[in-house]
Every structure is written in structure tokens, then in C-alpha cells.
Amino acid sequence: MSPRTHHATPDSAVEHIHDAFGTAEWWRTAVIYQVYPRSFADSDGDGNGDLGGIKNRLAYLHDLGVDAIWISPFYPSPQADGGYDVADYRDVDPMYGTLADADDLIATAHALGIRVIIDIVPNHTSDEHPWFQAALAAGPGSPERDRYWFVDSPGVPNNWPSEFGGPAWTQVADGEWYLHLFDRKQPDLNWENPEVREMFAGTLRFWLDRGVDGFRIDVAHHLVKAPGLLDFDADWDAYNRGALPTNAVPFADQDGVHDIYQQWRAILDSYPGERAMVAEAWVTPHDRLALYVRADEFQQAFNFDYMRATWDADALRAQIRTTLRNADSVGAPATWVLSNHDVIRHATRLVRADPTMAPWILKATEPRPDTGLGLRRARAATALMLALPGSSYLYQGEELGLREVIELPAEARTDPDFLRGGGHRLGRDGCRVPIPWKKDAPAFGFNDTGASWLPQPADFGDYAVDRQRGRDGSTLELYRSLLAVRRQRQLGNGSLALVDLRADVVALDVTNDRGTTRIVLNLGSEPWPIPASARVLVASADGVTDLLPADCAVWLTD
Ligand code: TEU
């Protein structure tokens, strides 16, 4: 423990909660940047981003200072759910490029020292996948149907809801029903069928052979369904708010999933290098999530309970404590995340009217939040996150401070969460609007033609990269500073102590051989006085020297 903890705040209580890792494989401390390929950068001008566009922007990501990218699905897909409806797991959709482009992208990223994680969607295929087409053609009782969940039933087989609204079952022409936890164009696979297991083992090998560093596994908690496919009586709204244990429903967090991931881990471990996989598992509470990151399963799991934490000092402290206690109990790194392609961007979400609402549910009637306060909080929240030990995920555009585009017109929206939601839910298109690169250019520099698959609002120009790069106080420069200081001071791998400075202030000390860094986030309404002995390394707002205003964060050292 550095002397600073004792000198600067002699009266404050210190609660030690985490020790540094002994060995630190890259995935224990990495900052991983999520690319949503359709919206990142468009090299051929058709209005859809592509692999060539990502390649052209790798220098930007290198300059930003990230360790790895995770690319959302780019496989052949009818795009009924933004590519999470895969028709061929071992190819590239022509909209995005070719397999040769994927190889080129991986090689170019590696040359810059950026690792590449790709997305695997094992819970369901597209209904246009050859397997589902074969199942429809082969008819009831066939081995082709056994790869999915087909049921003969006089009415809807059970009360399971689709995540996007309506029942999770659709009837086919011969009378059978098939299960789809998401859109009707995303039939769920039957993971009891050995062919399903073989196909995905082969798919992992296919991409590992091409050099990817790992995988993000889509809805890793859904693959196994409780026997009997019985009705459930849990409160679906409470479930979506994360207020119930995930296995309160018979199609989530069933113990059988772990066997699958142990087999996958053995595949990853049979390859040279440190290949890693991260579970997208909306599993609560933390001790259940920890089961996914035991030594022989995933290296990481997304920390969605942290993402859901409200803007409140006690809530954040509790999440930090519980996250680290549970990750440490199995020797896994903690992970941290504030935004992704499924949730309301945190510059908007952190000021929404009902902060306990599921982060992906955007109600049509919801009041439009204050953009200025939202950005202020978002910057402070990111400053806290990037100081925490473990690995952090960033979502494209958050480094520009982008807001959720709530005002997209209905006719522009494509998300099944909107299309199946009867107009009550606006869906997730608003966090997927193409990135602004240049203020005075067609489509704000997304491409050269001005085409854009989702319309960009006029104020996106003010967020453009060329308006922020090199400008003191911009959100982009804040992210670059946070990432640079994080690297210099090795914040991803330090011991962590919570410091009790004030009830409405979250303060923590990260200590390692680079010294102690104190992070202070003010969630109250009164400014917090910065001790005269402390030096400001980086602050989430301009002009922070001796007072830390409300909704701001600062990194300090002696
Ligand atoms: O999302 C999983 C998921 O359960 C939620 O984030 C989802 O967006 C929400 O329940 C919608 O109501 C993953 C992908 O990240 C998402 O884009 C896909 O739509 C989904 O799986 C299906 O593949």
C-alpha cells in the first residue's frame, strides 16, 4: 500500500477488496473495443459499413489506445436481427466483404498489436440457414428437425415469450411449432443433438485456424433448456430488470451449459497463443455468473449487473465489491462495460427517467433526457470504469460521447425489438447509427457517397472525430488520456481498496509497482475538495484543479 493513502486522507477508512494478478495474460487487463460492422466505416459507399472500412480505421483505434477489437457478426445473414441471424458460420456476407478481407483485417490488426475477437451465435441460426431449410423440407420426426426444437401441439406449446415480444413459438405449414427465443427468423438450436455440437466445434476451429484471438459468445446462458419445455411463472418484467435470479426461467442459465463451454475451452487451449472467449450471459447474481469463468470455461464474462447499476455511490460501490469478490473466487478477471449495440448509449441511459428499466428497453413514451448532463455523467462513469482492475469494454462511438438517437423515424427502424413490439418499444437502432468521422463530409465521413443505412441526425457532425481529435477537453481526447494513463500506470492490474471519503463520493485506490492512483467520482450535489497535496492526472471535465464538481471524476496521485 502506498504511503499516499495514509498521508492525504488520514481520517478515511480503507477497505481492501482485491489483490493484483500474479501472471497477467492479455485478456486479464485488456481494453476491448466493440465494432458493430454495419455502422463503423463504409469503404464501398453502399451505406453499410464493411471489413474494408474497419481495416482503414485500425490506425485510429491504435491511436486511441485499445488492446483488442471485438467485431459483431459479419457472416452471411438476411439481417433480420443485425447479423445475429447467421445463415453460414464460415463465410463473410458480401455486404461486408470476403473471407480474404477477413484474413487481411486480422493480419493488419495484428501488425498494429491489436487482437481480434469475433462473435459466435450458437443459440440459434437464421431460418435461412441450410439446416433450417432442410428441417422444414424433411418434415415431422426427421433427424433434420431434431437439430431444432420442433413440437407437435394443438396450440402454442408453452408460455415462453420471445425477447422481442410475442410468443417464442411459430407454427409451420404442417402444424408443428418451432422455438425461437428471439425473432421468428432465429430458430433455437437443440444443443442435445451431437451434430449441433460438432458443427460449432468445427466453426471455432475454422476461425482459430484463420488467426482470431478469441470469441464473444452470444447469449451463452440460453443454449440449454430445462427438460419438458414447461411453463414458468416468474415475473417477466422483474426478470428483465435483473431483479430475479436468471435461472428463474427454464430457458436461461441451466447447469447443462457448462459442459459445452468446457469442451470449447479445451479447443481454445489446444491452439498456440492466449486465445480467449467472453460470455455474453445476462446472468445474475454474480455468484452464478462466476460459474462461467471457472478455470476450465470462459476467460471472461460481461458484467451486466455493473452496467445496470444506477447513478448512485452505494450502488456502484456494492457492484465493485461483489464483482471482484466473485471473480476473485474463481481466479478470473473482473470485466466492466457501460455500452454495447443492444443498450441505450450510456450518455443517454445515465439520465433516463427510470434507471431500473432493462437497459435495452427504450419505451416510446419515455421523456427525452438532458444531453448535457448525460454526457457529463457518461465521461465520469467511463473514468471510473477505466481505472478498475480487470478488462473493460468500449462500444464504438462512446469515445465521441455519442448519444442515443431516440428520434429515428419509425420507417427507418429495423430492429425486431421494435418491429415485434407493437410500437411500445423503440428498439436498439438508436445506438447503431453510423459513426461520424468528419463534420463537413457526406454521411459525416462514414463513406464518400452520403448513403447511410440508418439516418444520422444533424448534430452528429459536432461529435465527429475531426472536430475532437487534438481539441483539449473533447471526449475523444479524454478517452485517449484515460487509456494512456491506464497503460502507464498499469491500472488493469493493481490491488484495489475502496476509500471512504464521503457517502456520495466513490473513491478507490489502485496500487501496483507504478504507485497508487486514487480515483474519485462525485455522485453528490456538493463539490468535493481535492487535497492540495494531490496531482490531477486526468479529469472527466475541464478546469478541475481544486474542486471536483458533481457528476465528475478525477484520477489523482501524489
Ligand atoms: O443479445 C442478447 C440479449 O438477450 C439482449 O441484449 C437483447 O438485446 C434483448 O433481450 C432484446 O430484447 C444478443 C445480441 O447481442 C443481440 O444483438 C441479439 O439480438 C440477441 O443476442 C439475439 O442473438
Phi-psi region of 331 (alpha: psi -120 to 50; beta: other; left: phi over 0): left
Tell me if residue 128 is catalytic.
no
For residues 328 and 317, what is the distance between their CA atoms, to the nearest angstrom?
16
The answer to whether 332 and 299 are in contact (CB under 8 A) is yes
- Assess whether pLDDT exceeds 90 at residue 8: no
Asked whether residue 321 carries a pLDDT value surpassing 60, the answer given is yes
- Please name the residue whose Cα sits nearest to atom 1 of ligand 1: 219
Cα–Cα dist 375/64, whole Å: 19
Is 287 catalytic? The answer is no
pLDDT of residue 247: 97
- Take atom 18 of ligand 1 and give the residue whose Cα is closest: 84
Tens-digit pLDDT profile for residues 272-292:
999 999 999 999 999 999 999
Of the pLDDT bands very low, low, confident and very high (cuts 50, 70, 90), residue 177 is very high
DSSP structure class, residue 40: T
417 CB within 6 A, ligand 1: yes
Lowest mean pLDDT among 12-26, 53-67, 318-332: 12-26
Query: Where does the pLDDT of residue 303 fall: very low under 50, low under 70, confident under 90, or very high at 90 and above?
Result: very high
Q: What is the mean pLDDT of residues 418-446?
A: 96
Q: How many CB atoms lie within 10 A of CB 56?
A: 15
Write out pLDDT tens, residues 27-57: 999 999 999 999 999 999 999 999 999 999 9
Q: Tens digit of pLDDT for each residue in 148-157?
A: 999 999 999 9
Using the predicted structure, report yes or no on whether residue 411 has a pLDDT greater than 70: yes
pLDDT digit string (tens) for 184-197? 999 999 999 999 99
Average pLDDT over residues 475-491: 98
* Ligand 1 site, residue 84, Cβ cutoff 6 A: yes
CB atoms inside a 10 Å sphere around CB 504? 16
What integer pLDDT is reported at residue 162 of this predicted model?
97
Quick one: three-class SS letters along 338-400? CCCCCCCCHHHHCCCCCCCCCCCCCECCCCCCCHHHHHHHHHHHHHHHCCCCCEEEEECCHHH
Q: Write the pLDDT tens digit of every residue in 213-223.
A: 999 999 999 99
179: amino acid identity, one letter: L
Which pLDDT belongs to residue 1? 36
Model confidence at 422, in pLDDT bands (50, 70, 90)? confident
Report whether residue 551 contacts ligand 1, using a CB cutoff of 6 Å: no
Residue 11 pLDDT? 57
Centre of ligand 1 from the C-alpha of residue 211, in Å: 27
Q: Is the pLDDT of residue 10 over 60?
A: no
Tell me what percent of the residues of the chain surpass a pLDDT of 70.
Answer: 98
Minimal-distance CA residue to ligand 1 atom 6: 342
Q: Which of 429, 394, 448 is nearest to 42 (CA)?
A: 448
Q: How confident is the model at residue 5 (pLDDT cuts 50, 70, 90)?
A: very low
pTM (two decimals): 0.97
- Confirm or reject: Cβ of 163 under 6 Å from ligand 1: yes
Phi, psi (5° rounding) for residue 520? -125, 125
Number of helices (H) and strands (E) in the chain: give both, helices first.
Answer: 16, 19
pLDDT at 347 over 50: yes
DSSP 96-147: T--HHHHHHHHHHHHHTT-EEEEEE--SB--TTSHHHHHHHHH-TT-TTGGG
CA-proximal residue: ligand 1, atom 16 (nearest): 342
Q: Residue 198: pLDDT above 90?
A: yes
- CA–centroid distance, residue 154 to ligand 1 (Å): 30
Q: Which residue's entry shows cell 411463472?
A: 233
How does pLDDT run across 485-522, given as a tens digit for each residue? 999 999 999 999 999 999 999 999 999 999 999 999 99
pLDDT above 90 as % of the chain = 96
- How far apart CA 367 and CA 389 sit, in angstroms, is 35
Query: With b meaning 16 or more CB within 10 Å and e meaning fewer, what string describes 239-258?
Result: bbbbebbbbbbbbbbbeebb
Whole-number Å distance between alpha carbons of 446 and 218: 27
List Cα–Cα distances, 261 to 122, 312, 551, in angstroms.
Answer: 11, 35, 40
Is the CB of 395 inside a 6 Å radius of any atom of ligand 1? no
Integer distance in angstroms from the first to the last C-alpha of the chain?
Answer: 13
